[in-house]
A = this chain, B = another copy of it.
């Protein structure tokens, strides 16, 4: 089933061997979510080609993916509560559980042994064995008088911790999983109204949640957890009424370059520059539309930005050296995601409305590859296995 069906089609645009189950390295592999089909495309970045497809993954709207520590397996978090473990080398589903009715993301523990999923319904976090997908722990997001909250902004953190936010409760929880039988939960209350998404900085130190219900951001410094959650950037989110907000920005995409954090303004055609030494906003950069993903090239020298509808045919690139716009690209309608190769020389772009997957050189901005894909959205390269918060 898995290799030969797609072989004739892939022959047309692949120069490398594409047999499933071959002996090969996994450091240059990746998957692309094809939302409409409920499938993943398996890609490789050495020849920028498509290797094959894995079907049967359910509802992949807003799906995300993490990788096993050996970079062989991808864990796919579907909106329908499906958690699927796929073998990227053999291109097949290894295990699949429907773990809730409505899910919004997941994470893999620092040691690679645990998969956590954050759920809307029933609200909470469920934790599974990465090997088998057997249930390990269930952490209902209970608060107040028998209420249960939707959970968002789930990330992994150093010390085998998972951190997440409770939309309804306005809380941030940190769960230590060093002993999987006995999760140790620390709760931070009254962090702000309706946290809607969060990020962890690449060094695993700062957890930052966006607040839908009020201005500013909630910051937890994991080097000093006893200091609790504080509010930063009190102006953040203010004025989002001035323009309709087409899409809440993805916090996962915030970019840290040196001491600067680049974050999408809510509802504004701006990228904000924040000094992480004092959490003050130091600049606002005018861009083409409402930013969705604001991502740093791995060396921190460039920031790549895509935009919400109706400006989602465009990518802009900012040079962090002088905070100047250096390039505007027009890949086509529906630029949904960008993923840098780990050493930053090339970047993959999904262009949903024209069913294309494109690869660009980040030095001269030339297009290096242009492949068909069915309504591609998220792109996830296996190098994420080695990173915190991805």
Q: Which chain B residue lies CB-closest to A68?
A: B25
Is A27 part of the binding interface, using a Cβ–Cβ cutoff of 8 Å? yes
Report the 4 A-B pairs with minimum CB-CB distance, sorted nearest first: A25-B72, A27-B71, A25-B70, A342-B386
Residues A356-390 near B (CB distance < 8 A) = 363, 382-383, 385-388
The residues in A between 21 and 47 inclusive whose CB is less than 8 angstroms from any CB of B are 21-29, 44-46
Determine whether A213 belongs to the interface, using a CB cutoff of 8 Å to chain B: no
Given contacts A27-B26, A382-B27, contact A345 B70 (CB under 8 A): no
Is the CB–CB distance between A258 and B27 below 8 Å? no
Contact digits for A209-239, partner B, Cβ 8 Å, 1 yes 0 no: 0000000000000011000000000000000
Q: How far is the CA of A23 from the CA of B382 in the complex (A)?
A: 16
A283 located at the interface, meaning its Cβ lies under 8 Å from any Cβ of chain B in the complex: no
Q: Is the beta-carbon distance between A27 and B321 smaller than 8 angstroms?
A: no
Taking CB atoms and an 8 Å cut-off, the chain A residues in 243-267 that contact chain B are 258-259
Summarize A's interface: helix, strand, loop or mixed.
loop
Please pick, from B45, B90, B158, B299, the residue contacting A204 in the complex, using a CB distance under 8 A: B299
Contact (Cβ within 8 A) A25 B23: no
A299 in contact with B46 (CB, 8 Å): no
User: Which residues from B are CB-within-8-Å of A346?
Assistant: 111
Residues of B within 8 A of A258 (CB): 203, 259
> Once the chains are docked, how many angstroms separate the CA of A321 from the CA of B23?
44
Residues of A within 8 A of B (CB): 21-29, 44-46, 67-73, 89-90, 110-112, 158-160, 178, 203-205, 223-224, 258-259, 298-301, 321, 342-346, 363, 382-383, 385-388
Nearest residue (CB) in B for A71 is B27
- Chain B residue with the shortest CB-CB distance to A319: B223
Inter-subunit contact B110/A385 (CB<8 Å) = no
Which residues of the partner chain B approach A44 to less than 8 Å between Cβ atoms? 70
A44 to B178, CA, bound (A): 21
Which residue in chain B gives the minimum CB-CB distance to A345? B110
Q: Is the CB of B21 within 8 A of A110?
A: no
- Once the chains bind, are B299 and A158 in contact (CB under 8 Å)? yes
Contact B28 A70 (CB under 8 A): yes
